[in-house]
């Protein structure tokens, strides 16, 4: 009797196991027929059952079903990304259950190559299929100016294949434009660790985020130092180094760095401007003015060079006028006319630099105000009125009172 009961129990177990395998088989048939919702329902049941949940073929089949569903979803919205990520999770689960061995039977199925233009029934719906579908969606959403979704699909591609530097860079670049700075940093830092990859642009963008957005010049400087070791001849990195040393108030190091950089690149407008700034901070106004002027000679359309040069002339003129106010009556009679003429000459020298600056940034009301005040000081009535009209148009008739 015991043998009969045992035999019946074994039959029952075999029947249950067979039934569950039939569910998996049915899910695969419905997957191939295109009835994906029913296939998902069936494979989910199999993933819950002790008889089939530990078989790596079960999550592999779910991954393939979801990959097919992902590719067919033309809405390309957040829920589409969720389907793709669920498929990736199932592929990863199947691999984990197979010891992450790409040469195993499961591994070969997961990473099976997809040949272009294969008929539907011959597509492998592997992780390669998932990546290709994500790429198509990334390009389509990018071309439709849907940057949020383009980022999500490039980011999905990057997670599917961490060695794909193009998808990682695209994800980081778009994330940066969208203000997703933590996501952008993650991508750029990953790229920097990849051997033999041209990571210069990744360095540039990462350093800019750390410096400008995170306000962390110390961390940015670490990456500049590392980048310069990788790309010792890059001129932009030299500029970054000087800029960051200035932000950290390391003037001596900045001075040494800018001189070294200018020795290799003497006509670099940005470096000349920073050298001028360092001289200005040290009190050498004449030296600063000379370097600012050089920056404009190197690049006549360099806004900052024009602005800083004009500003030095204004400061020098104001300094002379301040000295006039401190003169005694006797000194004033003797020296004021000459000193006033000297100050007005400096005002006049500032004009072309600010005019050039305004031509480069026509909406800059600060420069309009400077030019109005300078021409008013020089009694250039027509020029002053020209800038007054500009300011009225921008700020209103009462702009002087604001």
Q: Give the right CATH number for 24-161 from 1.10.3470, 1.25.40, 1.10.10, 3.40.190.
A: 1.25.40
Cα separation, 387 vs 383, in Å, equals 7
Collapse the DSSP code of 76 into the 3-class scheme (helix H, G, I; strand E, B; otherwise coil) and give the result.
coil
Q: Which residue has the tokens 């899910």?
A: 27
Query: In terms of C-beta distances under 8 Å and separation of at least 24 residues, what long-range contacts does 275-279 make, across chains too?
Result: 276/308, 277/246, 277/308, 278/246, 278/251, 278/254
Q: Could you tell me the CA-to-CA distances from 348 to 53, 285, 336, 386 in Å, in that order?
A: 84, 18, 18, 17
pLDDT at 282: 82
Q: Which residue has the tokens 């990744």?
A: 202
pLDDT at 12: 41
Q: Which residue has the tokens 């209103």?
A: 396
The H or E element spanning position 355 is: helix 329-360
Residues lower than pLDDT 50 in the chain? 1-18
Cα separation, 71 vs 94, in Å, equals 20
pLDDT at 16: 44
Cα separation, 177 vs 275, in Å, equals 31
pLDDT at 19: 53
Cα separation, 396 vs 378, in Å, equals 24
* Token pair listed for 400: 């002087």
pLDDT at 334: 85
pLDDT at 10: 44
Look at the pTM and tell me if it is higher than 0.75: no
């Amino acid at each position: 009797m015991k043998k009969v009961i045992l035999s019946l129990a074994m039959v029952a177990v075999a029947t249950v196991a067979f039934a569950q395998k039939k569910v998996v088989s049915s899910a695969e048939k419905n997957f191939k027929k295109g009835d994906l919702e029913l296939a998902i329902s069936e494979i989910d049941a199999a993933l819950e059952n002790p008889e089939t949940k530990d078989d790596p073929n079960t999550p592999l089949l779910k991954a393939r079903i979801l990959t097919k569903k992902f590719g067919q979803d033309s809405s390309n919205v957040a829920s589409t990304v969720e389907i793709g990520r669920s498929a990736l999770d199932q592929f990863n689960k199947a691999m984990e259950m197979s010891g992450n061995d790409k040469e195993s039977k499961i591994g070969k199925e997961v990473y099976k190559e997809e040949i272009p233009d294969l008929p539907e029934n011959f597509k492998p719906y592997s992780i390669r299929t998932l990546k290709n579908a994500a790429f198509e969606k990334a390009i389509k959403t990018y071309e439709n100016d849907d940057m949020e979704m383009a980022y999500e699909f490039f980011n999905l591609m990057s997670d599917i294949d961490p060695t794909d530097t193009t998808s990682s860079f695209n994800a980081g670049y778009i994330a940066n434009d969208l203000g997703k700075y933590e996501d952008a940093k993650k991508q750029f830092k990953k790229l920097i660790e990849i051997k033999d990859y041209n990571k210069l642009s990744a360095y540039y963008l990462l350093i800019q985020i750390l410096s400008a957005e995170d306000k962390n010049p110390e961390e940015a400087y670490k990456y500049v130092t590392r980048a310069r070791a990788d790309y010792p001849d890059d001129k932009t990195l030299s500029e970054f180094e000087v800029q960051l040393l200035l932000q950290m108030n390391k003037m001596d190091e900045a001075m040494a760095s800018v001189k070294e950089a200018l020795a290799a690149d003497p006509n670099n407008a940005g470096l000349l401007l920073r050298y001028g700034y360092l001289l200005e901070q040290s009190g050498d106004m004449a030296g600063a003015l000379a370097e600012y002027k050089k920056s404009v000679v190197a690049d006549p359309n360099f806004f900052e060079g024009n602005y800083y040069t004009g500003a030095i002339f204004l400061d020098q003129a104001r300094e002379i006028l301040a000295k006039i106010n401190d003169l005694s009556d006797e000194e004033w009679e003797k020296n004021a006319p000459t000193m006033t003429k000297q100050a007005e000459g400096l005002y006049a020298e500032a004009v072309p630099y600010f005019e050039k600056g305004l031509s480069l940034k026509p909406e800059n009301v600060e420069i309009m105000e400077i030019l109005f005040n300078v021409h008013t000081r020089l009694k250039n009535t027509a020029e002053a009125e020209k800038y007054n009209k500009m300011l009225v148009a921008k700020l209103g008739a009462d702009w002087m009172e604001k």
